[in-house]
Structure 1
Amino acid sequence: MSKKHTTPTVPPLTLEQAHELIFKLMERISELEDRLNQNSGNSSKPPSSNGPGGAPPARPRKRSGKQRGAQPGHKGHRRERHPQDERVTLAPHYPSDTCTCCGGDMLAHAKPHRVHQVFDLPEVSYFMTEHQLFRATCTRCIHTDEARLPETVSHTQMGTNLLSYIALQSGQYHQSISQIQSQLKQHFGLRFSRGAISEAQGRVSAMLTPTYQAIKQQVQTAAHIHADETRHQRGGERRWMWLALSKVAVCFMTAFGRGQDAAQRLLGDVPDTSVLVTDQYAGYRFIDNGQRQLCWAHVARNVAAIADSSERTNHPIGARLVLLADTVFRTRHRWENGELEHAQYQRRLRRCRQSWQAQLKRGMVLCSSRYRGRCRWLLNDDDMLWTFLEDDQVALTNNEAERALRGYVLWRKGSYGVWSQRGEQFRQRILSLVETAKRLGRCPQEWLRAVVRACIEKTNYPIPEELCASSHSG
């Protein structure tokens, strides 16, 4: 919580009091100027808050000097010819039977010299199966029996494809219930109430329970885990949406708060050999320092704020820290591209670490009071900044988690949160399936259809092999 500043109501009576007031006001002005200069490059503000002009990137790239668009020598990409199957309708076109030159008979070639394929969409409609249940009366004792609906038939008015469509329109395409209602009416001619659509989402959520449990277990036992959290709205209450991901799975979880207990519930008992990549948020402090890697993208923004400060004493130290952070990224990328040997990569980063620590110690003494604590915080967390030196598979940034969380942020903007526990469960489960499908290279629609069909028709429940296999390799 930021310190509250108030304007003195009693005017200074002595020269010393006047100097003290001027010093406080100058410090306050400097702090307000720093807040005005905040952007996505030197703070945690999102890029959408930069405005039309935008903000300079934290690590600007050199201009290549090339013009926009395709470059000379670029190999063009053309659509491959669609294979002949039941979706293709052939429409042959022949020239005139009579030669336009001499009037002789024309003999058509066996193969076309050119093929022009035109893709279009069919008129979308729906089909409905009416299950008629009859009664039968015994001719001797007049006992009456009633036919029962088969167990393999949906007990609601929505079948497999419709349930899957409604769920994915929310989880993958970020549509609100009102927008889904409008689409069903406009595209298919179906009219369902908002309550029926919400109930359908609840049914899908219940069907996804084993899938969600498998995803969560895989993430909790993975060797490398990324975690992040963002604001979540339920009615008038402010809650949080948490996320943890591994190489093959993404798990979302809603929670009342942003405290350490929610992080523990999400991550479970993290194995001693696992590494967790996060930002500097204190909610992950229950993880041992040797098992955490702090996101260098967040660190780069923190030191960029020192360099962009309005006070002159901060600029030299901040500029040096920005240069060192950029060196970390550049060295890592050169090693990943094969331009550096592993020994060179390690040696350069260890020298960079020594310079980094020296600059932070200087910042704890020479920077303004606003940024001394930031330098002290980074120095105290130094062990968590360089975990990637011990494990080459550890990522430098937490961008994986932020990209996976982006879909939910867009959904939150367009649908105004949820209003019930059922809505919260649906969001965390459908988002987990959609984002996990992306990482596995699977089609979310096909996966969800298989789950819904298995639950309705009482067949074997489909769990991908990647989630069933031993998780501690990803």
Structure 2
Amino acid sequence: MTPIPQPPELPSDLPPQVVAYIRILEATIAELTAQVTGLTTRVAELEARLNQNSTNSSKPPSSDAPHTKPAPPKPSSGKRRGGQPGHPKAERTLLPPDEIRTLKPATCRGCAHPLTGDDSNPAVHQVHEVPVVTPHVTEYRCHRLRCPHCGTTTVAAVPAEAATGYGPRAQAVAALLTGSCRLGKRGTSQLFADLFGLPLSPAMVCKLQHRTAEALKPVAEEALMYTCGQPANVDETSWKQGQKRAWLWVAVTTLVVAFLIRKTRGRSAFEDLRDGSTAVHTTDRYPVYTHLDKHKRQLCWAHLRRDFQAMIDRGGSGTAIGAALLACSDALFENWYRVRDGTLTRSTFRSVYIPALRRQVGEFLRTGAACGCAKTAATCGELLPVEASLWTFARVVGVEPTNNAAEREVRHAVCWRKTSFGTDSERGSRFVERILTVIASCRRQKRNVLAFLIDAVTAHRTGAKAPTLVPAQAQQQNVVNPLFANC
């Protein structure tokens, strides 16, 4: 807004009433000018908030409105759709047959002459079918006998491993359906009835979840302890517990993932997750991570890229800074992808590309911290003290420049939260965090989740040692595929 010029001196011969009226008008104009300035700033903030989407904020793509401008299409590679020449053909896996039917042609398809003999290498066509599953019921008949000596009656006790009324496999399947397949209690109950012919009430599903959580307690605690000693991608997302706000935390290492649910998003929850770990942490810019050693922290460049795009979208004096920083991030990712696919050596990337990028980014951040756009200046000012955390991935082998690993692991939990609306109690939260730990870790280790759950439940019932997710110990365990297990 154009500033109001200083009013001239009023003539001395004006009547006092006119002078007073002019002064009132001047004060009113000044007040209205201040209001317009404040409202203009407020409108700019609201427009920036309204224009937020998955490209310039932390909002997920699923929250984008239909009218949101899509990302620019990638340039065509010139390749046809589908599998490329030399790509391994995807074929159905042949399984050991339970029944073999031999088919021989009776006559020649050319002249109808009768055919005899055998083919040394016949073509194989398999039909895979799921057998009818019926529950295996073990009935314990507990006899009550009277002592002929004293007359006391004694009833035989049910074995401890049979006290729940459902076997380890049934309990593990219920946990798998709710935790991995994200079925609700009623859906799990219905599937048990339709698929297995086994009556299982929603209330019993809850009880089996609690028992599974107890069985997985030592497994999850050991996994959490292991991740504390490893470099990890750390993230948090909102959760609900008992209709109140809670937070789901995750620490992702190469082979083991640990989840925790806490009622706070503060430092105490982070300490529960990482227990004072001094390893490298890859995180976003959430303030709870600012206490970490900047030389052992990697800021997520995917988040930063969205921050740079937001500088451009806000307009004003921060646009040029945002465009320059965005170009630097594009150059970083372009060359990092070459490092990952082997077309650029890591040593060349560190010695040739990183120094120039680091110098340019530092200059742009210092310029942005002094620019006229308050939000752009604030973002750049926050990044300058932790500038070293932008480049940890270039120094430490195995550290990625993004926190995408944690984002991917959290995705399953977010989808589950949207359909289940969180948990109702501490007991439910313990099941969620422990089953998520097992699912994510087993997937990373290419282990069968159901087989692991069966082993954990069986060990808990019999008092045996629980299976482990820790890689060095897990390699010594024989995990049986339940599709072929006779249990």
Shorter-chain TM band: 0.7 to 0.9
Say if 2:45 is the partner of 1:41: no
Say if 2:99 is the partner of 1:92: no
Is residue 174–residue 408 contact of structure 1 (8 Å, CA) maintained in 2?
no
- Give the equivalent residue in structure 1 for 2:15: none
SS at match of 2:324: helix
Task: Write the distance in 2 (CA, Å) between the matches of 1:393 and 1:99.
Answer: 63
SS at match of 2:239: strand
- Give the equivalent residue in structure 1 for 2:293: 288
Task: Write the distance in 2 (CA, Å) between the matches of 1:12 and 1:337.
Answer: 68
The offset of 1:155, in angstroms, is 0.6
- Give the equivalent residue in structure 2 for 1:50: 64
Write the deviation string for residues 379-398 of structure 1: whole angstroms up to 9, x where unpaired: 22212212223213211011
Say if 2:206 is the partner of 1:198: yes
Structure 2: tracts of 5 or more residues without a match: 1-23, 476-487
Q: Which amino acid is the alignment partner of residue 215 of structure 1?
A: A
Task: Write the distance in 2 (CA, Å) between the matches of 1:344 and 1:258.
Answer: 40
SS at match of 2:198: coil
Task: Write the distance in 2 (CA, Å) between the matches of 1:301 and 1:446.
Answer: 41
SS at match of 1:308: helix
Task: Write the distance in 1 (CA, Å) between the matches of 2:436 and 2:326.
Answer: 36
Q: Which amino acid is the alignment partner of residue 334 of structure 1?
A: R
Is residue 318–residue 373 contact of structure 2 (8 Å, CA) maintained in 1?
yes
Query: CA-atom RMSD, angstroms?
Result: 2.7
Say if 2:176 is the partner of 1:162: no
Task: Write the distance in 1 (CA, Å) between the matches of 2:356 and 2:303.
Answer: 21
- Give the equivalent residue in structure 1 for 2:135: 126
Q: 1:39 to 1:182 in 2, by over 3 A?
A: same
The offset of 1:375, in angstroms, is 1.5
Q: Match for 2:317 among 306, 309, 313? A: 313
The offset of 1:183, in angstroms, is 1.3
- Give the equivalent residue in structure 1 for 2:412: 407
The offset of 1:252, in angstroms, is 0.7
Task: Write the distance in 2 (CA, Å) between the matches of 1:426 and 1:340.
Answer: 44
**Corresponding pairs, count:** 451
Please report the TM-score for the alignment, with normalisation by the length of structure 2: 0.85
Q: Match for 1:259 among 260, 266, 280? A: 266
- Structure of greater Rg: 2
Q: 1:366 to 1:145 in 2, by over 3 A?
A: closer
Task: Write the distance in 1 (CA, Å) between the matches of 2:26 and 2:384.
Answer: 39
1:35-434 matched pairs, under 5 angstroms: 35-52=49-66, 55-57=69-71, 61-71=74-84, 74=87, 76-84=89-97, 88-96=98-106, 106-109=115-118, 111=120, 113-139=122-148, 142-151=151-160, 153-222=161-230, 224-271=231-278, 274-309=279-314, 311-346=315-350, 347-434=352-439
Is residue 12–residue 21 contact of structure 1 (8 Å, CA) maintained in 2?
no
SS at match of 2:76: coil
Q: Which amino acid is the alignment partner of residue 461 of structure 2?
A: I
The offset of 1:461, in angstroms, is 2.6
Q: 1:467 to 1:426 in 2, by over 3 A?
A: farther
Structure 1: tracts of 5 or more residues without a match: 1-9
SS at match of 2:370: helix
| Bigger RCO of structures 1 and 2 (CA < 8 A, at least 6 apart) | 1
Q: 1:134 to 1:368 in 2, by over 3 A?
A: same
Please report the TM-score for the alignment, with normalisation by the length of structure 1: 0.87
The offset of 1:139, in angstroms, is 4.5
The offset of 1:445, in angstroms, is 0.6
The offset of 1:120, in angstroms, is 1.4
The offset of 1:73, in angstroms, is 5.9
Say if 2:471 is the partner of 1:466: yes
The offset of 1:219, in angstroms, is 0.4
Task: Write the distance in 2 (CA, Å) between the matches of 1:422 and 1:232.
Answer: 14
Q: 1:52 to 1:127 in 2, by over 3 A?
A: farther
Task: Write the distance in 1 (CA, Å) between the matches of 2:425 and 2:105.
Answer: 67
Q: 1:306 to 1:144 in 2, by over 3 A?
A: same
Q: 1:99 to 1:446 in 2, by over 3 A?
A: closer
The offset of 1:446, in angstroms, is 0.6
Is residue 223–residue 469 contact of structure 2 (8 Å, CA) maintained in 1?
no
Q: Which amino acid is the alignment partner of residue 238 of structure 2?
A: R
Is residue 282–residue 298 contact of structure 2 (8 Å, CA) maintained in 1?
yes
